[in-house]
Amino acid sequence: MSSLHKLLDGKGLRSVLKNYELYLFLVPAAVLTFCFAYIPIYGVQIAFKNFTPVKGIWGSPWVGFHQFLRFFRTNQFKIVVSNTFYLSIYGIIVGFPLPIALALMMNSMAAPRFKRILQTITYMPYFISIVVLVSLVNIYLSPTGLAGHISNFFGVAPQNFMANPVVFGHTYVWSGVWQGMGWGSIIYLAALSSVDPTLYEAATIDGANKWQKLIHIDLPTIAPTCTILLILSAGGVLNVGFEKAFLMQNNLNLLRSEVINTYIYKVGIQNTQYSYSAAVGLFNNLINFVILVAVNRISGKLSETSLW
């Protein structure tokens, strides 16, 4: 029986009425979700029209899939899609396992004081704003910055790494890993805190070392959490952060730094091509949705963990 049928059933309705105070707490969240997530869906039809502000949404002529075909035929299609996939998949491959490894490492530490110090140090970069982070990257990787001084020390001509398209992807991903690795480990540490201490005691009695405890106790404990977060990461594979990519972007690295979100900003806001940018954004969301459903279904078949 579906959730709706259970709710409409007499027992389900009586349960809602009996605990109405608890359901009232959901009202603000439901109203905000409806206002900011469902009402804007009305504007999606702009992607299928030749929208002009003077005529409004209803008055603008319907053009069907013209805006989508226009995007598919442009020279920028292959560039922005490939760059977005590259940065996103690279970020998942590098950024997904490192917080897990950090959490496992901190969980196995015997010195609580050193563990707290390490947690504080790894959490701090997360609170640095994107603007400050990009400014630091530009300073350190400039020919007159830290990278330039190191190059001079070894007798190598300094380079402007931020102007190198090949280096852009590595800089973008690894700076993000440095900033978010400590914060991302929090959820895994929370999952590890639920492990029954008697399991470690029993493993010690059986002669298990730290590595065996990690393999047979810690990893199975956080496996469902890892699966859910991996599914969510796969669902946002085309949602490469706009702010960071845009701030790190320049004319010299544009070949690798132009992603879908920055392209939407340029054609939609700067060039006022509202229908075209809406079509590109809708295409982006549809691809993310398809990937999310596919990965979730594969996860459900391979394991017992899935979003639904």
Are 284 and 238 within 8 A, CB to CB? yes
Residue 212, CA distances (Å) to 188, 203, 219 in order: 18, 9, 10
Looking at residue 70, what is its pLDDT?
A: 93
Task: Write out pLDDT tens, residues 193-243.
Answer: 888 888 888 888 888 888 888 888 888 888 888 888 888 888 888 888 888
Please report, for the chain, the start and end positions of each structural domain, with discontinuous segments joined by +: 74-302
pLDDT of residue 131: 92
Q: How far apart are CA 191 and CA 155, in angstroms?
A: 49
Q: Which homologous superfamily is 74-302 in?
A: MetI-like (1.10.3720.10)
Q: What gap in Å lies between CA 28 and CA 36, rounded to an integer?
A: 12
Residue spans of the chain under pLDDT 50: 1
